[in-house]
Amino acid sequence: MKTRRFDALIVGGGGAGLRAALQLARSDYKVAVVSKVFPTRSHTVSAQGGITAALANVDDDRWEWHMYDTVKGGDWLGDQDAIEFMCREAVTAVYELEHMGLPFSRLDNGRIYQRPFGGQSKNFGGDQATRTCAAADRTGHALLHTLYQQNIACRTQFFDEYFALDLLRDAEGYCLGIAAMSIGTGEPLLIEARTTLLATGGAGRVFWNSSNAMINTGDGLGMVLRAGLPLQDMEFWQFHPTGIAGVGCLITEGVRGEGGYLLNGNGERFMERYAPHAKDLASRDVVARAIAIEIAEGRGCGPASPQRGGGYVHLKLDHLGEKTIAEKLPGIRDLAIRFAGVDPVEKPIPVAPTAHYMMGGIPTNLYGQVVAPARYGPEEPVPGLYAVGECACVSVHGANRLGGNSLLDLIVFGRAAGRHMQEYLRDNPYPRPLPGDAAEASLARLRRWDRAGGERVAAISDDLRRLMQGHAGVFRTDAVLREGLESLNELEERLVRAGLQDTSRIFNTARIEALELENLMGVARATLVSAIGRTESRGAHTREDFPVRDDERWLKHTLYSRAGDHVDTKPVRLKPLTVESIRPQEREY
Amino acid sequence: MKFRLYRYNPESGKQPYMQDVELDIDPAGRMLLDALLAIKARDETLSLRRSCREGVCGSDAMNVNGRNRLACITPLGELSEPIEIRPLPGLPVIRDLIVDMEPFYRQYRSIKPWLINDDPVPETERPQSPEDRALLDGAYECILCACCTTACPSFWWNPDKFVGPAGLLQAYRFIADSRDEAMAARLDNLEDPYRLYRCRGIMNCVDACPKGLNPTEAIGRIKALLVKRRV
């Protein structure tokens, strides 16, 4: 079989992968990036509002305040050492992006433009802060293109349109690279590397109504589960308050940051009732729940119709004026006109919560090393394996991510992992031999899809998304989750019987979709089982049968393993690196 | 609704052909991509690229009723039937609606699309006035979908020599950036009868750009800078 060898391998060409790749490429190590799409098609490109860092360009600010907001936003489930690291590094990480050429919007004095975002405060819970650095409402696009450009300059080796199948590991657990497949030719390829980073992004396509790109199918999570490693905090999914109703495309929180607000069917600014202080700029979980309640209690806007998914609220921004909208929110205006048929300069946008972000993922430490429970002691790194970005769970977002912190996560931990991988390469100068049968399981998986079958992949895929929408949405109960799990068992049986009509080699996208569905199935199971396990409400995980946060029993992370659907727990690290711990408090906005 | 789809499977040994497809779909509020995915759910051999489905990733550019467009932001209701869909023109077809984008990417890379500034790195950001930053508007938003370049007859004739509208727009994005120091080298790189001057101002690119950008204008500015530097 064809084999290529590199020092470092990055799986995923989004912001996290490209930031890490850049760090390594600049150090003269031989680095390759494998991406199932041309890198600038990665989902980072869709990020709108910005990247959060306490630059204090507009107003007083300190990284300690950013840290407090992130801990509180995550409902105290985030690890405070990682959060301190991220908020502290944020400032230099953002300046670095600017030096690379990222076209940030500017203030009159020439400094980087910053806007208010939800859940941000000054002085540990005081007035609204202005902390999110933006390139109009296309920050992700600007960031991803800038990083890609820098990587071309450094001659990073790209494997575009290659699909990652599985991790290659030896008997001692070292990660030695991946088995992949060229989408263009259908041929398998082994890519050996002394160190491998997973930066495969989220899995939001497991829900019917999602802001996510169609490529967000949790491929890295599937690889990790198949390797027998656990996933952390998979019950925590963020539903973004303002997706375009019935479509799911995102309308950035930046709209509310710039002064937009939400109205229910009675024309009432209902967020005042739910978050008297922060109102429309409360944390996303708080706003999404409020909208869901308004709609459920009959105070939504417009008639329930299949087009609009049975109810929505209005996001009003016409009072900002055409000039501000054109300067600061041009992409949003475009999306609203195209997908909602309304020009926000004149009329409010119909919005409803949409699945947006996976707080959980592959457990890592703050160097991006993947960690797993050890036979002795709490946990230890999996040698040679790293994970960064939405697929990883460091955990900095805890039970609910703040807007503007995801791009930051990519950059800070992409850089940190890139640095640590260099150390690892220095300490492990020789490649370890690849066991002869290392790729056997992957090849068997590929062969399995050469078989014709009765069930259609697309139908199972649709049913999976409906299932998760109905059984693991904003509000959850034990009964509904268990019902979902039973239906998932049936879907898994159907998947066994499924086959492809198309068994060609060249650009067989049907085969890719089948492999993606296998990954999504794993993500769905991890989510349902973890959500059944967590008998409390925290952040984005709302259990109607356990409506309050229970710090005594549940101030801890869940760890889901595929073997036996086992859910273990591990403690939350409440001790930061240098500052004082932020003790759990009642969470109010 | 009636569709005519360009089909080509290199493994079948058959020549490319146009396939007539009928689909029962209500066009209200739906985009062309929705229809194509519905067709694919029925016949999974139909191959196309897609990702963000909201017009920012640039994956699903194709030729629709004679015009290059992004399927995900093309409203179905606007299209006259039968809706004829072909791969982007001017690039080798790999399969169905999937083309080999490499000639397009090669031209993009040839303009050195990254900021060049060898000054010592400052402690904070490099300042840029809002006016200087505004010069990048209309250039940095390019999503590399290739709608413009593959609508350009000059590119069809000389894909190996003419940078094409997308590449030239990106060249301008860096030339116009007050933080970039390589303007002279960038202009040298383009001062060539083919690389820049094959642009004849046909303006197909402006018509084709799904993001409403204007490559012809940027090319005009590059030409003006070259003239200015000579006198």
Q: Which residue of B has its CA nearest to A107?
A: B130
Q: Which residue of B has its CA nearest to A94?
A: B125
**Residues of chain A with C-beta less than 8 angstroms from the C-beta of B114:** 100-101, 149-150, 152-153
Instruction: For residues A471-480, give the mean pLDDT.
Output: 97
CA distance A441 to A16: 28
Instruction: Please judge whether B115 and A149 are an interchain contact, meaning their C-beta atoms are less than 8 angstroms apart.
Output: yes
Instruction: Please judge whether A150 and B112 are an interchain contact, meaning their C-beta atoms are less than 8 angstroms apart.
Output: no
- Which pLDDT belongs to residue A246? 87
Mean pLDDT, chain A, whole residue set = 95
Instruction: Please judge whether A40 and B129 are an interchain contact, meaning their C-beta atoms are less than 8 angstroms apart.
Output: no
- Confidence category of residue B39, pLDDT binned at 50, 70, 90: very high
CA distance B117 to A168: 41
Distance from CA of B56 to the nearest CA of A (A): 6
Instruction: Please judge whether A504 and B127 are an interchain contact, meaning their C-beta atoms are less than 8 angstroms apart.
Output: no
Least confident of A137-151, A448-462, A472-486, B28-42: A448-462
DSSP letter string, A143-203: HHHHHHHHHHHTT-EEEETEEEEEEEE-TT--EEEEEEEETTT--EEEEEEEEEEE-----
Instruction: Please judge whether B130 and A141 are an interchain contact, meaning their C-beta atoms are less than 8 angstroms apart.
Output: no
Q: Is the pLDDT of residue A182 over 70?
A: yes
Q: Is the pLDDT of residue A377 over 50?
A: yes
pTM exceeds 0.95: yes
Interface test with B, best of A22, A106, A156 (most B CBs within 10 A): A106
Instruction: Please judge whether A101 and B51 are an interchain contact, meaning their C-beta atoms are less than 8 angstroms apart.
Output: no
Model confidence over A88-125: pLDDT tens digits?
Answer: 999 999 999 999 999 999 999 999 999 999 999 999 99
- Which pLDDT belongs to residue A208? 94
Q: What residues of A act catalytically?
A: 284
- Which pLDDT belongs to residue A307? 46
Instruction: For residues A140-167, give the mean pLDDT.
Output: 97
Q: Is the pLDDT of residue A302 over 80?
A: no
Instruction: Give A265's Cβ-side CA count (13 Å radius).
Output: 17
Q: Is the pLDDT of residue B112 over 70?
A: yes
Instruction: Please judge whether A149 and B114 are an interchain contact, meaning their C-beta atoms are less than 8 angstroms apart.
Output: yes
CA distance A153 to A552: 52
Q: Which residue of B has its CA nearest to A38?
A: B59
Q: Is the pLDDT of residue A304 over 60?
A: no
Residue A51, φ and ψ in degrees, nearest 5: -130, 130
- Confidence category of residue A67, pLDDT binned at 50, 70, 90: very high
Model confidence over B51-91: pLDDT tens digits?
Answer: 999 999 999 999 999 999 999 999 999 999 999 999 999 99
Among left, alpha and beta (phi > 0; psi -120 to 50; other), residue A417 is alpha
Distance from CA of B231 to the nearest CA of A (A): 31
Q: Is the pLDDT of residue A289 over 80?
A: yes
- Confidence category of residue A453, pLDDT binned at 50, 70, 90: confident
Instruction: For residues B120-139, give the mean pLDDT.
Output: 97
Interface test with A, best of B25, B57, B98, B100 (most A CBs within 10 A): B57
Interface test with B, best of A35, A96, A97, A99 (most B CBs within 10 A): A99
Distance from CA of A567 to the nearest CA of B (A): 33
- Confidence category of residue A306, pLDDT binned at 50, 70, 90: very low
- Which pLDDT belongs to residue A497? 93
**Residues of chain A with C-beta less than 8 angstroms from the C-beta of B128:** 106, 110
**Residues of chain A with C-beta less than 8 angstroms from the C-beta of B115:** 100-101, 146, 149
Between strands A162-169 and A175-182, the pairing is: antiparallel
- Amino acid identity of residue A271, one-letter, is M
Distance from CA of B43 to the nearest CA of A (A): 8
Q: Is the pLDDT of residue A58 over 50?
A: yes
Instruction: For residues B95-100, give the mean pLDDT.
Output: 98
B47, B51, B96 member nearest A213 (Cβ)? B51
Instruction: For residues A127-152, give the mean pLDDT.
Output: 97
Least confident of A393-407, A447-461, A499-513, B40-54: A447-461
Asked if A333 and A321 count as a contact pair (C-beta separation under 8 A), the reply is no
Instruction: For residues B126-137, give the mean pLDDT.
Output: 97
Instruction: Please judge whether B52 and A46 are an interchain contact, meaning their C-beta atoms are less than 8 angstroms apart.
Output: yes
Q: Which residue of A has its CA nearest to B96?
A: A507
Residue B63, φ and ψ in degrees, nearest 5: -95, 115
Q: Which residue of B has its CA nearest to A146?
A: B114
Q: How many CB pairs under 8 A join A and B?
A: 154
**Residues of chain A with C-beta less than 8 angstroms from the C-beta of B50:** 214
Instruction: Please judge whether A106 and B133 are an interchain contact, meaning their C-beta atoms are less than 8 angstroms apart.
Output: yes
> Which letter does DSSP use for residue A541 in this model?
B
- Which pLDDT belongs to residue A378? 78
Instruction: For residues B100-106, give the mean pLDDT.
Output: 98
Residue A356, φ and ψ in degrees, nearest 5: -135, -45
Kindly give, in sequence order, each residue whose CB lies less than 8 Å from that of residue B45, ignoring residues fewer than 6 positions away: A501, A502, A504, A510, B9
- Amino acid identity of residue A236, one-letter, is F
Instruction: Please judge whether B127 and A138 are an interchain contact, meaning their C-beta atoms are less than 8 angstroms apart.
Output: no
Asked if A130 and A59 count as a contact pair (C-beta separation under 8 A), the reply is yes
- Which pLDDT belongs to residue A309? 46
- Confidence category of residue A310, pLDDT binned at 50, 70, 90: low
Model confidence over A185-213: pLDDT tens digits?
Answer: 999 999 999 999 999 999 999 999 999 99
Mean pLDDT, chain B, whole residue set = 97
Interface test with B, best of A96, A462, A509, A517 (most B CBs within 10 A): A509
Instruction: Note the residue count of chain B.
Output: 231
**Residues of chain B with C-beta less than 8 angstroms from the C-beta of A515:** none
Structure tokens at A286: 């708080």
Q: Which residue of A has its CA nearest to B42?
A: A458
- Which pLDDT belongs to residue A454? 83
**Residues of chain A with C-beta less than 8 angstroms from the C-beta of B130:** 105-108, 110
Q: Which residue of B has its CA nearest to A150?
A: B114
A95, A247, A500 member nearest B124 (Cβ)? A95
Instruction: Please judge whether A99 and B128 are an interchain contact, meaning their C-beta atoms are less than 8 angstroms apart.
Output: no
Instruction: For residues A240-269, give the mean pLDDT.
Output: 94
Q: Is the pLDDT of residue A412 over 70?
A: yes
